[in-house]
Amino acid sequence: MKKILALTVVLVATIQIQAQQKPIYLDPKAPMEERIGDALGRMTLEEKIAMVHAQSKFSSPGVPSLGIPDNWMTDGPHGIRAEVLWDEWNTAGWTNDACIAFPALTCLAATWNEDMAALYGKSIGEEARYRNKNVLLGPGVNIYRTPLNGRNFEYMGEDPLLASRMVVPYVKGVQANGVAACVKHFALNNQEIRRHEVNVNVDDRTLYEIYLPAFKAAVQEGGAWAIMGSYNRYKGQWACQNQYLLNDILRTEWGFDGVVISDWGGVNDTMQAIYNGLDMEFGTWTDGLNFGQSNAYDNYYLADPFLKLIRSGEVKEAEVDRKVRNILRLAFRTTMNPERPFGSFATEAHGDAGRKIAQEGIVLLKNTANVLPVDLKHTNKIAVIGENAIKVMTVGGGSSSLKVKYEVSPLAGIQSRVGDEAEVVYARGYVGDQLAGQDGLSTGENIADNRTPEELIVEACKVAAEADYVIFIGGLNKNPGQDCEGDDRASLGLPYGQDKLIDELAKVNKNLAVVIISGNAVAMPWVDRVPSIVQGWYLGSEAGNALASILVGDVNPSGKLPFTFPVRLQDSAAHSVGEYPGGEEETYNEGIFVGYRWVDKQKTKPLFSFGHGLSYTTFEYGKVTADKKEMTQDGKMTFHVKVKNTGSREGAEVVQLYIRDVRSSLPRPVKELKSFHKVRLAPGEEKEVAFTIDRTALAFFDDAKHEWVAEPGDFEAIIGASSTDLRGKVSFKLK
């Protein structure tokens, strides 16, 4: 008995000692930095080097000896990419990786609703987590500088304040699932053509006021755990290995403690990659082991070349330690977090979320004579015309291409909603370039049509003439040279002869609604001849259902444009005074005057203004008032305006606050967006909207002082329904 008791005492003591000796890095309750230091101290040099570069197309090694899992990335930002082969872009042929496609980020920005951004981030984060990804490669927040950028559809518009406000809830929503949001592409990636060559020349004021704020908000307000560098150069250094962007601004000025990931193939030099802020290198040989040397991953700039430099003493081991610390921090926030939820995938709830976001983002651009919504009670036949009514839009477009559980086409959505209430007939109208697929992923449709453009127009006009309503659904698509990564558009105009078709349709039926599916602005030479125009975006899995709900009036449109539609390409600053597309060098001569800032400066009339969007009801704005006449440098000020729904149905209005600096020591825009609020009102209901600002809303970046300056003097607070539809203002002073 004594022996048993003695053994028990020894066993208990042993267990207690072992518990006390448990590695700190495995204790989720221990301080994060202690865990990082403990894990780092247990790693070999070879394990450290392995962590800082890829081992496959979308993964990098963990530390097997310590039980730290691999890192798995997935493309976003509109859905979770299909699984690909280890060393190839082609899909792996899984049968359980079909996701929900969410609307493109231009649509999210067009909601002007932070609650929608939070819902988006939460939903896509759940999908990424379920697929066991710990880094979502998105969202994108590069500023819309030119309407030709093939990747604009992945971004959040032309205004830094709007993009900043929308990115923060998205990031928080994703990361609540234990998945890092990797905000991209940092920075100045404002075109696709020559993206691997161009060195962007831009002054510091423009950089800080226009191109950096959304990234800063994602880091400091959203707490982003990852940032992706861009392909272009800035100040002569590639952005993925850029001292000024990554070390000086991101780390030092903003205090970023996350991981910096290269864009795939964005690293070009070992020494710069070591010292200039990069943590993880991906995709240097973009065809994996099928191209380049046989041991592609070991030959990455941060692989064997890095290891040899440390072993030779030319580079200190502290350099790899710095990178590994950031990667371990990523692991402890994601894969090593025991509280990490399990997520969910391709669910009905996610489809509902996507539809809700799409409905709030669709923009009613024009509605003369109230052609929309379609009056089903007095309609016998609806003609749907256009290729985009039937074309798959989730496949293609570059890295945002998706394998989806389902995609409801606009035609199918309209047919489903209308049901037996009216006859729905379809005519092609035009034929565009057909996309067979991308990365081994097929669209699954055959919509080839060998008829001539003339034959298609004749058929479309005949069908349109016999209908009560005509809904034309066209625009752009995800083919190369349109809304697609890797290249820019050739022109602002619609492709495939759509302008002529729209003109002919307008002649045969006055009840014509034109729906543009695109992530970019397009020219509309027929704008005065068409009574109703809708900007439909790329709406994801629920595209057709969301669009149909707007067209028939089940949902009142409330989206507002996140960028300006110019009449001509020359009305865009980048094409008027800026350099585009540049060669090895490109200078942003327009400076801070991007989008509506340029419109105001030049006093030109846009096709459709930034912030513009109509409703099936009407809103009346009251007088703008301020809570005081003067604001101190360390104080705040609140502006009030009453908004009333003067129509017959419920609706939501985006009330926009712009600030004007009446007199400044430096040139400033006529006005700048500084806040907004989406208010929902029942018929006859009135609500007061309040905006509170501080000196940051009045400041500009003084690049000579390298600081934000708010100069005392006269200002105006301007309330608008868009950047050109201004409803009232009030003057005030900054002491």
Sketch the domain layout of the chain as residue ranges.
30-141+152-187+203-333, 349-554, 618-734
Map residue 447 onto helix, strand or coil: coil
- Residue carrying the six token digits 């990031």: 171
Report pLDDT digits (tens) over 44-57: 999 999 999 999 99
- Whether residue 185 is preceded by a cis peptide bond, meaning omega within 30 degrees of 0, is yes
Are 434 and 395 spatial neighbours (Cβ–Cβ below 8 Å)?
no
Pairing of strands 686-694, 636-645: antiparallel
Name the nearest CA neighbour of 100 among 74, 73, 126, 72: 126
The pLDDT of residue 18: 42
- Whether residue 453 is preceded by a cis peptide bond, meaning omega within 30 degrees of 0, is no
Q: Which parts of the chain have pLDDT scores under 70?
A: 1-21, 285-295
Are 342 and 125 spatial neighbours (Cβ–Cβ below 8 Å)?
no
Architecture per CATH, 30-141+152-187+203-333: Alpha-Beta Barrel (3.20)
Dihedral Cα 598, 602, 608, 613, nearest 10 deg: 70
Count of CA atoms in the C-beta half-sphere (13 A) of 304: 6
Please give the Cα distance from 296 to 282 (Å, whole number).
11
| Residues known to be catalytic | 263
- CA-based angle 167:168:174, to the nearest 5? 90
Please give the Cα distance from 211 to 233 (Å, whole number).
14
Q: Which two tokens stand for residue 129?
A: 């987590």
The pLDDT of residue 292: 55
- Other Cβ atoms closer than 10 A to 664: 14
Map residue 720 onto helix, strand or coil: strand
Report pLDDT digits (tens) over 264-310: 999 999 999 999 999 999 998 655 545 555 668 999 999 999 999 99
Name the nearest CA neighbour of 560 among 632, 613, 634: 613
Top-tier CATH class for 618-734: mainly beta
Top-tier CATH class for 349-554: alpha beta
> Residue 284 — φ and ψ, nearest 5°?
-60, -45
- Whether residue 28 is preceded by a cis peptide bond, meaning omega within 30 degrees of 0, is no
Please give the Cα distance from 447 to 432 (Å, whole number).
10
- The backbone region for 567, taken as left when phi is positive above 0, alpha when psi lies in -120 to 50, beta otherwise, is alpha
Helices 213-220 and 160-175, axial angle in degrees (round to 10): 30
